[in-house]
Structure 1
Amino acid sequence: MSTPPPAPTHRAGAASARPARTAEDRSARLAVTVFPALILAAAAFGFFVPSVGQALAEHTSIYLGVIMFAMGLTLTIPDFALVAKRPLPVLIGVVSQYVIMPLVGLGIALLLQLPPELAVGVILVGCAPGGTSSNVIAYLAKADTALSVTMTSISTLLAPLFTPMLTLWLAGSYLPVDAGSMALSIVQMVLIPVLGGLVVRLIAGRLVDRILPALPWVSVAGISLVVIAVVSGSTEAIVSAGAIVLLAVVLHNGLGYLLGYWAARLLRQGERAARTTSVEVGMQNSGLAATLAASAFSPAAALPAAIFSIWHNLSGAMLAMYYRRSADRHPADPA
């Protein structure tokens, strides 16, 4: 969930059945459109006014917790019921998430011979769960929004186990990794807020429905604060290695889209499920990765995640346009 904005709460079937856009839809579409510009502005602010960013840095876990609570507020029980109804595409998406992106991250770190802090940062981005902005991109791409939401939810709930374990396994040769401490941090910053938001939605659903249009902007504000904090502490790394990190991020994100799509197609999934898996695998919760990297390693290690936050929303919007235009070529693909 980078981590912006929560997806539309009506799911793919409902979206295709009724094209009318709710206030939440419009808010999410607008947020995901302007999000890269806001993140660029946040990055510039952190770079040129580092004193403010460093003052914000000690509260990054709180910002992420607010973002994840907002994600929890968008979830409903039917999001998880899809696991029982369509287990195979969900399984393919979640396994691809935790296999493709971590291994691609390691491969890129080796290929580009990244220094240890940046290598760990790239690998940690790959080991993060899916970002909630993938749900909006899936919706705009005419993919399976319900499947996207379920994949994001399941990968997020599994993050306390898989993110530390994979980071230790793949990045431990670069820098020491305290997997136990990382797992505890993910539980505190991700799992508890998400479950808390889900419980509040169950208890006060009508009240939550009234504030849903504002939730994308809560997420945008939260990730902007994370980026300001991360960039302010890694200005030297940006000057010395910004170009190579950008290259690493573009390769990582693009290969995630491509390999996610073909993983689903090779396992005989339909076009819409393949597009969903592509988006879900390529878009990461870079807000979580940045916060973990800054707290467990260094601000420089968080730089790949900060750049990923900007790039994957730009690339996701372009990918959605491509998939949307190609959707008419698959009219028989089931919803």
Structure 2
Amino acid sequence: MDSALTTIGLPIALGIIMFGLGLSLTVGDFARVAKAPKAVSIALGCQLILLPAIAFGLVKLFDLDPLLAVGVMLLAASPGGTTANLFSHLFKGDVALNVTLTAVNSVIAVITLPVITNFALGHFNPPDADGTLGLQFTKVLQVFAIVLIPVVLGMWVRVQSQSFAHRMDKPVRIGSAVVLALVIVGTVISERENILDYIAQIGIVAALFCLLSLGVGYAVPRMFGIGDRQAIASSMEIGIHNSTLAITIAVSLLHSSELAIPAAVYGVLMFPLAAGAGFLITRMSPKLAYAA
């Protein structure tokens, strides 16, 4: 992949996406944790504990190539994407909960993402890891910069002009989808000689991981008595990852296109699978089916 795209283009594109996220957030979205602590805690527990465990089990079960295995773990550690809000809205989920989860998880991910990624690098020890492949302190600071600073700026702009924030909501969402598509295409082109082998290896794992993420995100909250609408929000938040963040970290910070392949494949699969899961859930619940 072209160095200008990896070192400049990807971080800028991700920064715009995170800025757009900030435009949709208020301080109250963080404070809402206190109003719905059970739903937030269960969803975060699924995101931060169960998903990495599921990802680890899948890559061991399918005996993935070490670099692809680390890529799956990097994806599992990435927070939910802003598109989860849209899917939650389409399938009668609690969008306010989605916004809160995205806000809180984006902050927590600054810590958990490097921890999980470095654990995976140490455990799977990919052949290209010659001691330089890892998220050291300076790279963690870069993660902080590209994740949180644009969000804070977006929130500040919203405080200054809510009308501007509302006007920019749709363009940023469209732009996010376009950026994700371009990033996936760029990743595929850079690995075109090996892409068929990679997809053969990672396709089933990515699909299973997506389905399990969506299923766990809905089933676990329901097991603990959380209502349908909040469980749907949790499902979409956990099943729709910020693939652009995972790809940016893989390519721009870890300088490995191979590490980005799982996130690229997942980025293609997660939308139809999330749509199918949302349709199934709403048809399983009489109240939601009637509302739809």
Fold agreement, TM-score > 0.5 = yes
Partner of 1:136: 86
Cα contact 1:57–1:229 (8 A) shared by 2: no
Deviation at 1:297?
4.7
Cα distance change on mapping 1:113 and 1:329 into 2, 3 Å:
same
Report the Cα offset of residue 226 of structure 1.
Answer: 2.0
Counterparts of 1:29-68 in structure 2, within 5 Å, are: 56-58=5-7, 59-68=9-18
Matched, 1:258 2:196: no
Determine if contact 1:54/1:229 at 8 Å carries over to the other structure.
no
| Per-residue Cα deviation, 1:141-172 (whole angstroms, up to 9, x for no partner) | 11111111111111011111111112222342
Q: In the alignment, what sits opposite 1:304?
A: 262
Over aligned residue pairs, what C-alpha RMSD do you find? 2.1
2:124 match: secondary structure? coil
Instruction: Return the offset for 1:97.
Output: 0.6
Asked if structure 2 preserves the Cα contact closer than 8 Å seen for 1:233 and 1:300, the reply is no
C-alpha change, 1:162 and 1:112, in structure 2 (3 Å) is same
2:69 counterpart residue number: 119
Matches within 5 A, 1:267-278: 267-278=224-235
1:166 is aligned to 116
1:89 matched to 2:54 = no
Q: CA deviation at 1:247?
A: 0.8
Distance in 1 between the 2:287 and 2:120 partners?
40
Cα–Cα, structure 1 residues 172 and 182, in superposed 2: closer, same or farther, change >3 Å?
farther
Q: Which moved more, 1:104-113 or 1:207-216?
A: 207-216
Q: Does structure 1 retain, via aligned residues, the 8 Å contact 2:77–2:113?
A: yes
Q: Following the alignment from structure 1 to structure 2, what is the Cα–Cα distance between the partners of residues 132 and 112?
A: 30
Q: Report Cα offsets for 1:223-250 as digits up to 9, x if no partner.
A: 2232233222222231222122111100
Residue 14 of structure 1 aligns with which residue?
A: none
State yes or no: 1:145 paired with 2:95. Answer: yes
With normalisation by structure 1, the TM-score equals 0.78
8 Å CA contact 1:164, 1:183 repeated in 2: yes
The range that moved more, 76-85 or 147-156, is: 76-85
Query: Where does residue 130 of structure 2 map in the other structure?
Result: none
CA deviation map 1:274-299 (0-9, x unaligned)? 22222211211111111111131510
| CA distance, structure 2, for counterparts of residue 119 and residue 297 of structure 1 | 16
C-alpha distance in 2, partners of 1:174/1:297?
Answer: 17
Q: Give the AA of the match of 1:172.
A: G
SS, match of residue 256 in structure 2: coil
| Cross-structure match for 1:283 | 240
Q: Which amino acid aligns with 1:89?
A: A
Residues 264, 274 of structure 1: 8 Å contact kept: yes
What corresponds to 2:184 in structure 1? 227
Q: Deviations over 1:189-236 (max 9, x none)?
A: 111111111111111212222232212112122222322332222222
Letter in 1 for 2:39: P
Q: Decide whether the 8 Å contact of 2:282 with 2:288 is kept in 1.
A: no
Name the CA distance, whole Å, in 2 between partners of 1:297 and 1:108.
24
How far apart are the structure 1 equivalents of 2:276 and 2:203? Answer: 17
Q: Partners of 1:170 and 1:262 in 2: how far apart?
A: 27
Q: Which moved more, 1:230-239 or 1:311-320?
A: 230-239
Closer, same or farther: CA 196–178 of 1 in aligned 2, 3 Å: same
* Structure 1 residues without counterparts, runs of 5 or longer: 1-49
Alignment of 1:134-213 (within 5 A): 134-175=84-125, 176-213=133-170
Distance 2:3 2:138 in 1: 23
Equivalent AA in structure 1 for residue 181 of structure 2 = S
User: 1:73-103: per-residue Cα shift (whole Å, max 9, x none)?
Assistant: 1112332231121111111111211112211
Looking at structure 2, the residues matched to 116 and 297 of structure 1 have their Cα atoms a distance apart, in angstroms, of 15
Q: CA offsets, 1:231-274, max 9 Å, x none? A: 22222231222122111100111111112222212222122222
Counterpart residue type for residue 271 of structure 2: N
Task: Return the letter of the residue paired with 1:74.
Answer: S
The answer to whether structure 1 residue 321 and structure 2 residue 279 are counterparts is yes
| Contact 2:211/2:239, CA 8 A, preserved across alignment | yes
Partner Cα distance (1:186, 1:308) in 2 = 21
TM-score between the two structures when normalised by the length of structure 2:
0.89
- Give the Cα–Cα distance (whole angstroms) in 1 for the partners of residues 196 and 3 of structure 2: 18
